[in-house]
Amino acid sequence: MNFKIEVNRIVDQTVIYVAGEIDAYTAPKLREELIAFAEEANPRLTINLRNVDYMDSTGLGVFVGLLKVIRKNNGELKLVELSDRLERLFSITGLNDIIDISSKSEGGVQ
């Protein structure tokens, strides 16, 4: 299965909806698309993962790399609407301590 990305720009914030699976096959394309937004000046990204069915360690790597680029550009990253499974994955790896994660939706209706 592939993944799908939908982007919604709201004032000074970009909300990105990701759906599908994030794995070794799809992670490079996801990284490529997300980094473009992270390289903007002062990026404010909210990534909605409500419709992500599966994520492996390569997916986690995408978000770690994304966070580094966003911080370098004085921006903010927030992940929202993670499934219980994804929340556990970020918690087990300790990434929930360095990435802003919220169970609530933000930045528009989808």
pTM: 0.89
Domain of residue 21, CATH code: 3.30.750.24
State how far the Cα of 18 lies from the Cα of 52, in Å rounded to an integer: 6
So what's the pLDDT on residue 76?
Answer: 97
| pLDDT tens for each residue of 31-83 | 999 999 999 999 999 999 999 999 999 999 999 999 999 999 999 999 999 99
Q: What is the pLDDT of residue 27?
A: 95
Structure tokens at 61: 């790597």
The verdict on residue 81 lying in a domain is yes
Whether residue 35 is contained in a domain is answered as yes
Provide mean pLDDT across the span 100-104.
82
Q: DSSP states of 35-86 as a string?
A: HHHHTSSS-EEEEEEEEEEEE-HHHHHHHHHHHHHHHHTT-EEEEES--HHH
* 74 domain-assigned: yes
Structural domain total, the chain: 1
> Which domain, by its residues, includes 14?
3-102
Instruction: Please report the pLDDT score of residue 3 as a whole number.
Output: 85
